Chains A and B, each alone.
Chain A
Amino acid sequence: MAIEFGYTISKPRAIDIDRNNLRKSDEILREMPELQTCIGCGSCTAVCTAGNLTSFNFRRVHTLVRRGEYRGAYEEMNKCMLCGKCRLVCPRGINTRGVVLLLKRKLGDF
């Protein structure tokens, strides 16, 4: 029986964009080209109502999805309450609420 230390060692992990299937990611970008202007500043996450209460991190989910890492993204996205604060603070004026709905629509079966 393994001893429980209260922490584990993370497996080394890298995102290989050449290996990942970017079909969904491309589809998402096609439907919402403004996502290309995201600078990953994280303002959306800083003001996030859901992020304030749980570990939900919009910037992280979006970044992973764009790189073809879809697993768990739908469930994560579902924590969003769609309140719209992120849209008001986005310095690039990205329609973040539209992004949430789009990601959920595209990734419902992942």
Chain B
Amino acid sequence: MSFFAPFCLPFMIGAAVMFVLLAWKWGSWLWRLPEADKRLVAKGIFTRATPEAVWETVRESLLHRRIFRIDPLLGYMHMSLAFGWFLLISVGWIETVAYLGLRYVPLQGHVFFKYFATGLPHKPAFDFVMDLLLLLVLSGVALAWFKRLRSRALGMRRTTRHVAGDRVALSALWFIFPARLAAESITCALYGGGSFLTGGLGAWLAAHVGVMPLMTAETVAWWFYSSCLGIFFVALPFSRYMHIFTEIPLIFLRRYRLRSGEKQSSYDHFQVEACSRCGICIDPCQLQSVLKIDTVQSVYFLRDRRYGMLRREVADNCLLCGRCAEKCPVGIDLNTLRVNSRDALRNVPDERRYDYFQGLDRSSGEGRVGYFAGCMTLLTPRTMQSMERIFEAAGERVWWADREGGVCCGRPLKLAGETDSARRMMRYNTELFRKHGITTLVTSCPICLRVFREDYALEGIEVLHHSEYILRLIREGRLPLGRTTERLAYHDPCELGRGSGIYEAPRAVIEAVGELVEPAHTREEALCCGSSLANTAIDDGQQVALARNVAEELDATGAGAIVTACPLCKKALGRGTATEVRDLSEVVAARIRPAAGRATK
């Protein structure tokens, strides 16, 4: 039995081109991984990370659990396409084996088996299963078409605007399965076989169309099917569909603990090209929903970066709030990629720029507990005073790192892409902390907190956000508080919630002094106050518009005051509402029972 017909050529060429390109891409990316990353891979490959990655691949690359969580219909659409196609290929493989036994069959023999197998006795069970799977995939294609018309029905208010190359690949993909249905049905019309779908359609065709036109139509249909496949395969490595093959190694590498950093590395390729441009990141973006800016979202950022056409305007215009990363079905580390793109666009190390740090030390006080206010807290003196009262009431001896001014933590500069210079600040502050021998470092600024935890090497020093620290004092009974029935609406700062995973501590503290109420978007879904230091592109009016939008939700709770745990959020929200905005520490300091305060003195 020969497995070749001229119509197979487009498919064969397409598949060959695709596999060569894939091998080259994967190979060069892996080859160029930094040595440390290669060691991580070598270390992780024979651990349970590998079977875990296999399971995650099944869950996320075939079944798409994360998309189901966003919208069940959207999840079904993608699952029917991906898992359906996967089953068509694998069951098709089994079908060939069932028909021919274990022998070598070239790739096109498997793919176009219906065409070549007309002379063999039919196996209705396989016909039925294959028709069912084809129907599954076709239902996904139908939903994809429907999504073009009404994306809202599938849980997406906005979808991606695609580039020309993606449109070619997309059209080819959409035609593959209808073309397969047509080709197989016509073959069934001529030679019999098939089940309820191809068989049924074939019987109908046989009854209504003559044999000669059917013969011509068969050749045309198979050529068309093969061409669609060929075009799709050639376009795949250059288009959004590269995600099909990139998400799999990404899952494995992520399980081996590879991460993107502040400098670009070869691992980033896996993240960037794993983006399917599904556009799920567009809806959560407040720049889109409030400010109607629709060219800078993660999907466009990754696209521009991948094709080497990233502009500073796009890279800079992002709050790095992380709302998109929370929803990304591929789990791409969007914020880190944005930061290392900014680094590549801007980083100009200037060794002399911070020479004035030399010998600088304006800290005061003495104690094992250090308090780092951070620049923004210095602008919100009430937070500072409240912290002072809290420390005093708890009888804590405190070393004040920067009450009289100090060096910034470095995160703002890092977020702007000047990562090397930011390192100089980090080194300075680290040395300062070490010099004063603190064992606990408390900060009331989540921006500082995050950089202390992620970028500083502070072994032996416990870094706490003031919400965690205050909660600890309360639990240890060192801070006797009087509870009131005041309703307090809590705003999650991005850097504290999504950034550092601290959701419970500030809530527990609020509940110790009043009644906690939550806005519509809260915790992982919380909105950004709009004044994020990460965005150097939007203007004042736009920041206020974002703040108003957030404050509206907080005001809708009917709370007497808005409470947040970030000095920058406090400043920002204050511009968006008439309601009083307070820092967590203020709320606590106001409820310290005076007697207890005096007793500890």
Binding site for B on A (CB under 8 A): 34, 47, 49-50, 52-54, 75, 78-79, 81-85, 88-90, 92-95, 97-98, 101, 104, 108
A49, B539: Cβ atoms under 8 Å? no
> Which of B12-20, B81-89, B246-254, B372-380 lies at the binding interface?
B372-380
CA distance A22 to B199 in the complex (A): 79
Which residue in chain B gives the minimum CB-CB distance to A52?
A: B405
* A residues in contact with B537, CB < 8 Å: 95, 98
CA distance A97 to B410 in the complex (A): 14
Question: 7 closest pairs, A vs B, by CB?
Answer: A93-B540, A78-B353, A83-B375, A81-B408, A52-B405, A54-B356, A83-B408
B536 is contacted by which of A52, A79, A98, A108 (Cβ under 8 Å)? A98
B375 is contacted by which of A54, A79, A84, A104 (Cβ under 8 Å)? A84
CA distance A49 to B362 in the complex (A): 13
* A residues in contact with B543, CB < 8 Å: 93
Known: A81-B425, A82-B418, A95-B536. A89 touches B412 (CB 8 A): no
B533, A84: Cβ atoms under 8 Å? yes
A89, B425: Cβ atoms under 8 Å? no
Known: A49-B375, A49-B405. A79 touches B353 (CB 8 A): yes
B540, A85: Cβ atoms under 8 Å? no
CA distance A34 to B543 in the complex (A): 15
Among A34, A90, A101, A104, the one with the most B-chain Cβ atoms within 10 Å of its Cβ is A101
B408, A94: Cβ atoms under 8 Å? no
B536, A101: Cβ atoms under 8 Å? yes
B571, A88: Cβ atoms under 8 Å? yes
* A residues in contact with B416, CB < 8 Å: 82, 97, 101
B31 interfacial by beta-carbon distance below 8 Å: no
B residues 343-374 in Cβ contact with A at 8 Å: 346, 348, 350, 352-354, 356-357, 360, 362
* B residues in contact with A84, CB < 8 Å: 375-376, 412, 533, 568
* B residues in contact with A93, CB < 8 Å: 539-541, 543-544
Known: A85-B378, A93-B541, A108-B348. A53 touches B536 (CB 8 A): no
* B residues in contact with A95, CB < 8 Å: 536-540
* B residues in contact with A82, CB < 8 Å: 408, 412-413, 416, 418, 533
B41 interfacial by beta-carbon distance below 8 Å: no
A79, B408: Cβ atoms under 8 Å? no
Which residue in chain A gives the minimum CB-CB distance to B538?
A: A95
B407, A53: Cβ atoms under 8 Å? yes
CA distance A54 to B405 in the complex (A): 11
Which residue in chain A gives the minimum CB-CB distance to B375?
A: A83
Among B346, B360, B362, B539, the one with the most A-chain Cβ atoms within 10 Å of its Cβ is B539
Give chain A nearest CB distance to B374 CB in angstroms.
Answer: 8
B350, A83: Cβ atoms under 8 Å? no
B residues 297-341 in Cβ contact with A at 8 Å: none
CA distance A36 to B112 in the complex (A): 69
* B residues in contact with A85, CB < 8 Å: 375-376, 378-379
CA distance A31 to B278 in the complex (A): 33
* Contacts A47-B378, A81-B410 supplied; 9 other A-B pairs, CB < 8 Å: A47-B379, A53-B356, A53-B407, A78-B352, A81-B375, A82-B418, A83-B375, A93-B539, A95-B540
Give chain A nearest CB distance to B568 CB in angstroms.
Answer: 8
B residues 535-577 in Cβ contact with A at 8 Å: 536-541, 543-544, 568, 571
* A residues in contact with B353, CB < 8 Å: 75, 78-79
* B residues in contact with A98, CB < 8 Å: 536-537
* B residues in contact with A52, CB < 8 Å: 405
B539, A34: Cβ atoms under 8 Å? yes
* A residues in contact with B350, CB < 8 Å: 78
CA distance A98 to B354 in the complex (A): 20
CA distance A89 to B375 in the complex (A): 13
Give chain B nearest CB distance to A100 CB in angstroms.
Answer: 9
* B residues in contact with A104, CB < 8 Å: 348
Among B348, B540, B568, the one with the most A-chain Cβ atoms within 10 Å of its Cβ is B540
Which residue in chain A gives the minimum CB-CB distance to B404?
A: A52
Give chain A nearest CB distance to B506 CB in angstroms.
Answer: 22
Which residue in chain B gives the minimum CB-CB distance to A89?
A: B379
CA distance A53 to B406 in the complex (A): 7
Which residue in chain A gives the minimum CB-CB distance to B412?
A: A82
Which residue in chain B gives the minimum CB-CB distance to A37?
A: B540
A97, B356: Cβ atoms under 8 Å? no
* B residues in contact with A49, CB < 8 Å: 375, 378, 405-408
B540, A94: Cβ atoms under 8 Å? yes
* B residues in contact with A53, CB < 8 Å: 356-357, 360, 362, 405-407
| 7 A–B contacts from the bound complex (CB under 8 Å) | A81-B375, A82-B413, A83-B533, A84-B568, A85-B378, A93-B539, A98-B536
Known: A49-B408, A53-B360, A93-B539. A79 touches B378 (CB 8 A): no
Give chain A nearest CB distance to B566 CB in angstroms.
Answer: 13
CA distance A93 to B572 in the complex (A): 12
Give chain A nearest CB distance to B450 CB in angstroms.
Answer: 15
Known: A34-B539, A49-B375, A108-B348. A81 touches B407 (CB 8 A): yes
CA distance A82 to B357 in the complex (A): 15
Which residue in chain A gives the minimum CB-CB distance to B415?
A: A82
B residues 363-399 in Cβ contact with A at 8 Å: 375-376, 378-379
